Structure 1
Amino acid sequence: MSAWIRTLVKRKRTKIVLVGLTVTFSLALILMVKLQSDTEQPVTKTHKVIIRTENAESTTVTERHKMAILVPFRDRFEELLEFVPYMHDFLNKQGTAHQIYVINQVDDYRFNRAALINVGFLESGKDCDYIAMHDVDLVPVNPAITYPYPRTGVYHVASPDLHPLYHYKKFVGGILLLTRDAFTSTNGMSNRYWGWGLEDDEFYVRMRRQMLEIERPSGITTGYETFRHIHNRKKRRRDTAKHFNQTQELRHLDKKTGASNIKYTIDSKTDITVAGAPAKIINVVLDCDLKDTPWCLKPEYHTVYKAKGLIP
């Protein structure tokens, strides 16, 4: 056998051995990846959901979820600078997939928290299958507080026995989690609550009318020290004044307005990073029907609008 033939045969044998080793290594790698995927937790938070059947038995399944944190906002930059990195770190430690949306009201009307939440719900990413209605000045300090996907549709994180300020049984403010289906079933929140307060109480009635069960944390032993309230009342006074017939009008359930018919304009959207924590800013111009809710106007504009015959 000539030298070049012996060299060719040797190369072929070497090639066959290398191919065999490559195939063997690839199979081993696939098995390692599969075993790893079977044992490691996914990046997205997983929650165990109890599915109740007509029988007395329950089945435990695992589902993946992502939360849209909706923060109604205006002129609270000191709180925001603390809130975004704190909550991003808090939720990351728990493995809760999330996106923070700051819904910033940039028009010249009075603040409307409920309407901003409606906007946030409509504008937030559809990859988020549940929302957190979250005040910018309230953060959890107990790591036992979690933000789970609400298996009953609604989960009140800042429950009355834990919130530092509000303790009445029907209180659902501060931090409230809802599935997108649950929020849609109530038609969101009322758009008529300009100024501070009462929109949560009206939303409680909406949820009860839809027979939504409100879950709350259990086994938390830190009581009213579970959350930190970072609102400075001296610097940022609440707009609690009532104008025109606002008090009488808001005593009743609003059956006309909600997420389905809110009128607004998006001024701009911006991605920001605060101390390494990402958030999306949505600048919103709300629309006000002066005939329906003249109390949307700030008091300094009343005289001008009355002179024009636009308000009573």
Structure 2
Amino acid sequence: MNDFSKIGYEYGLKPHMVLIGDVDFSNYFSEAKCLGLIYVFGFDNKNNQIPVQIAFLFQNEGPAKKFLDCLMNWIERSNNDGDAVSIEFIENNKGGYTIAIFPEMNRFIDRCVPKHLKNRISPVMMTQTHFKEIDSVSSNYYAFKANYKKVGKIAVGYVIGSPNKIEKQSDKYFIKTEFQFYEKGKMPQNSSAEMYDYIQKDKTFDKENRPKPPKETTGEIAKRRLEEIKTFFPVTYNKLNNQGWLSDLVQELSKKYEKDIIIQAICNLILFERLKQEKDLSPDFTKTGYPINILDYLLSTFESFSSYFPTADFFTMKKIENQIKNDQCELKEYLKK
């Protein structure tokens, strides 16, 4: 049985949704034993040499195929967009470079978050980045870096063999148009290059050092709170502001709380009473992750004059004030994190 008496919901916040990315691709890459990267060139109609393909040189075909299958899965779930796979090159001051492979964040979010939730949640992403060090920089690398944009589309696959002999080429490949190149000392904040620099220095992303996401101000939260209440509870908002409904309670509570805080609490009490009447409501609706459950319900249920409303005698000072405290706990937890 769901107990709504101890939970709050703050409309000024975007509920967190944890998105967990694929980690298998990194394990398969390691098992496949990458020996390097091969740059393949062709010729344009003016007989100029241009890059057309890059291929990972692997020793072990089984895990190499599984590695590519993982990447192909990301791509297929991103409308066959090959740039769902990010490949970045991080040059060092020792004559080599490192390749970083990971899911591109915007496309990762798009395939993990339902469209109706996308602009109303704050994603917390847990993804894997695989780094492969290359000891030396070849002339082919520089030629690829300088000219890949002239081509626009680069095929990415793998080959099996050794530096001296290629035994087999992958049956599958994907097309990328975006690559990033970073030089030592010129690494953008929060990039894979900056992350790699931390690893190289034996640092960890602890509470002091790790990048912190932007946090809304109390003013921004208050503005969003009112906008969302008007969106999800248009009838309730109108009744509270224009018809004198519960006016005595609201006036008394206004001596201690802002009006939008009071309105939010009343809306939540109405919401929870409506949820109690849902026959198919999950028995763990109020467990961990309930803000997403609430948001999903609000987005799929439009308030109208025929919606359920408790009678006026349902509302008491004690009920509303208890709900205000629950709602404020949600906000306090957010602000202190």
- What's the TM-score bracket when you normalise by the shorter of the two chains? under 0.3
